[in-house]
Amino acid sequence: MANWLMTLGGAALAMLALRDVFHTLWHPTRHGGLSRRVMTLAWYLSSSFGRRRAVGLAGPLGMVTVVVLWAVTVILGWALMYWPHMPGGFSFAAGLSPADYTGFVDAVYLSIVTMATLGLGDIAPADGWLRVLGPIEAVVGFALLTATVTWVLGIYPALTRRRAVALRIHQLRRCGLDERTLSTPQAAAVLQGLAADLAHVCVDFRQYAESYYFHDGDEPTSLAATIPYLDDLAERTPHPAEPQAALARALLRVCLDDLAVTLDERFLHTGGTTRHVLDRYAHDHGRAART
């Protein structure tokens, strides 16, 4: 009875890891419990050092830590399923004494070899259900590797889009626009383009929540540093008589509000206004808030 309880415990541990993988990578919220806690902890630990290099490593190191924890949890879960049935449920290569392979370390070794699909063949499942369980772990290991690559390939394009938007805002600030210029149809077209870009960034924060914990070191490519200017720009843009300009101003305002809601609901939890949330976002990423 105890052996089967341990087996069920190992299955529960493995399912816990797979559930977190699913919620992080494939669920619409894209933010599993483990990844949320690890990324948040890495972010605030690195921020406490007060060095830009440490903060810049928070995102990459956090992702590596999450992947390692996924793999370790799956390995330990399957090892707990194997261990109670060793050595009787397994066959051993010639020259190996089954009595020497009864420990938990041996089960962990078997789990690592199976998950990595090495196929060494020195220890192989013999019982019918164990012969099914082993290949399932191999499939899970392959899926985990593929999912990790997909995760990385999804995060970095999202960061590129965010930094491109920040650079456009920085360039707009360097132009030194006055109220007369902001009332022109040309300015309305630029603001509409920025509103569309902000919508993409908002979606990225929702689908790739881990991207929040990547620090942008250069101010021109830091959305946290440039977004307060865009908020100020939306506030001081005069109410134009032309419908296109009026629509551009209203659309930019709505996009900024939606971005603030996303940042506050998922990361900051201030319950404040758009201005307060964006200032808090800037401060959280080491940028000076507006005075």
- pLDDT tens across 115-138, in order? 988 877 788 888 888 889 989 999
The pLDDT, as a whole number, for residue 30 is 59
**238-279 pLDDT, tens digit each:** 666 567 777 888 899 999 999 999 999 999 999 999 999 999
| β 123-125/90-92 pair status | antiparallel
The pLDDT, as a whole number, for residue 225 is 92
The pLDDT, as a whole number, for residue 121 is 78
Dist CA 60 CA 39 (whole Å): 9
Q: Within the chain, which residues score under 50 in pLDDT? A: none
Helix, strand, or coil (residue 57): coil
The DSSP code for 119 is -
The pLDDT, as a whole number, for residue 278 is 94
Strand runs (DSSP E) across 150-265, as ranges?
none
0.85 exceeded by the pTM? no
Paired with 91 in beta bridges are 124
The pLDDT, as a whole number, for residue 51 is 56
Dist CA 116 CA 13 (whole Å): 19
The pLDDT, as a whole number, for residue 72 is 95
Spatial CB neighbours of 99, under 8 Å, sequence gap ≥ 6: 87
